[in-house]
Structure 1
Amino acid sequence: MASSSAAKNSKKTNLLDHHSIKHLLDESVTEVVKSRGYAEDSRLSNVRLLIGSIIIAIALLAQFYPKKFPENRDFLIVCIGLYVVFNGLLQFISYTKEKNAILFTYPPAGSFNSTGLVVSSKLPRFSDMYTLTIASADPKSISANKPVVLTKSVTKWFTKDGVLVEGLFWKDVEKLIDDYNGDRKSK
């Protein structure tokens, strides 16, 4: 019975789909970081959702405006301009703030650290090398540590059947978190 429940709880992916592999690893990283006392900071996601909602509202307004085309020309020009501006803002946020980030956190409760973490990952197409980076959410803060990076082949964490060997993966991610936090102890 224990082996059947372990089989149900195992995380399996398609080893031929690098998006699927990266998604599973990113979810597992999020679990590890949260298990270490870091709460997720969803403010940036909420801002992106708000901007997306504004974009949808502008598009709906332009589509269902009561007047027909020649009469609503100026209104449509304003809507198109606003649509472009808000989409540009959304792309700017993605490009400058998010980059490859999979998780933003607050500092752990009760810690002396005043910054959370930015956890980012990369798994290039046609590559088996997964790169995980942990950095400070505010790199200019006095309590910010130097970013730490782990690059390892995904073949070290998966069986031939595509099952994630969570113990090995969690150990590597926890060691990376410890390396990031250990930087402060050596100062």
Structure 2
Amino acid sequence: MATKNAKKANLLDHHSLKHLLDESVSEIVTSRGYVEDVRLSNVKLIMGTVIIIIALVAQFYKKKFPENRDFLIGCIILYVVFNGILQFIVYTKEKNAILFTYPPAGSFTSTGLIVSSKLPRFSDLYTLTISSSDPKSISANEPVQFTKSVTRWFTKDGVLVEGLFWKDVEALIDEYAREPKKSK
């Protein structure tokens, strides 16, 4: 029964490893009372919908090419502008983030978390970072991170040893929660 629920990844595919670890991190953080903040995802979905609508309007406009030239130019400009805005949001806000959260219910802190991760190509070093969603807030703690080899969390068959991984991630969450903010 344990192998039925085992989380398995392809050890030769770093995307598969990172995806499985990121899903597990999200599960661990939400199990600790943090609720996922999906506002940025919703904004990205709305922007994507607008981009698709612009493309569809340009494609199925009633007039044919020579007559709709100015309209098509306008659609192309809008398409490029909205795609640029979407890429700007991803580049500035999302970065390597895998999870944005609200503060836990009943907590004294007024900021949620940004959980981000990195697993460079051709590397076995997984870096997990936890920081405040509002770093300028008085209740924000300093970001914490660890960098560890993925080989310590996976068996030779590619099965995630969840107990070890949960212990490391929970220790990082605890480190973030107790670390006092530096005095200025």
Alignment TM class, shorter chain as reference:
over 0.9
Q: Give the Å deviation of 1:184.
A: 3.5
Pick closer, same or farther for the CA change 1:97–1:186 going to 2, 3 Å: closer
Q: Give the Å deviation of 1:90.
A: 0.5
Pick closer, same or farther for the CA change 1:157–1:66 going to 2, 3 Å: same
Matched residue type, 1:132: L
C-alpha distance in 1 between matches for 2:62 and 2:105? 53
Instruction: Give the structure 2 partner of residue 176 of structure 1.
Output: 172
Q: 1:6 is paired with a residue of what secondary structure?
A: coil
C-alpha distance in 1 between matches for 2:107 and 2:6? 33
Matches within 5 A, 1:58-77: 58-77=54-73
Q: Percent identity?
A: 79
Instruction: Give the structure 2 partner of residue 113 of structure 1.
Output: 109
Q: 2:105 is paired with a residue of what secondary structure?
A: coil
Matched residue type, 2:141: N
Quick check: 2:141–2:181 contact (8 Å CA) kept in 1? Answer: no
Q: Give the Å deviation of 1:186.
A: 9.4
Q: Which runs of 5+ in 1 are unaligned?
A: none
Matches within 5 A, 1:75-154: 75-154=71-150
Instruction: Give the structure 2 partner of residue 167 of structure 1.
Output: 163
Name the TM-score, length of structure 2 as normaliser: 0.98
Q: 1:134 is paired with a residue of what secondary structure?
A: strand
Name the TM-score, length of structure 1 as normaliser: 0.96
Matched residue type, 1:136: S
C-alpha distance in 1 between matches for 2:43 and 2:21? 26
C-alpha distance in 2 between matches for 1:98 and 1:185? 24
**Does 1:35 find its partner at 2:31?**
yes
Quick check: 2:140–2:181 contact (8 Å CA) kept in 1? Answer: no
C-alpha distance in 1 between matches for 2:129 and 2:169? 10
Q: Give the Å deviation of 1:185.
A: 8.8
C-alpha distance in 1 between matches for 2:44 and 2:5? 33
Q: 1:26 is paired with a residue of what secondary structure?
A: helix
Aligned pair count reads 183
Structure 1 runs (4+) greater than 6 angstroms displaced: none
C-alpha distance in 2 between matches for 1:111 and 1:97? 25
Matched residue type, 1:123: L
Matched residue type, 2:154: F
Q: Which runs of 5+ in 2 are unaligned?
A: none
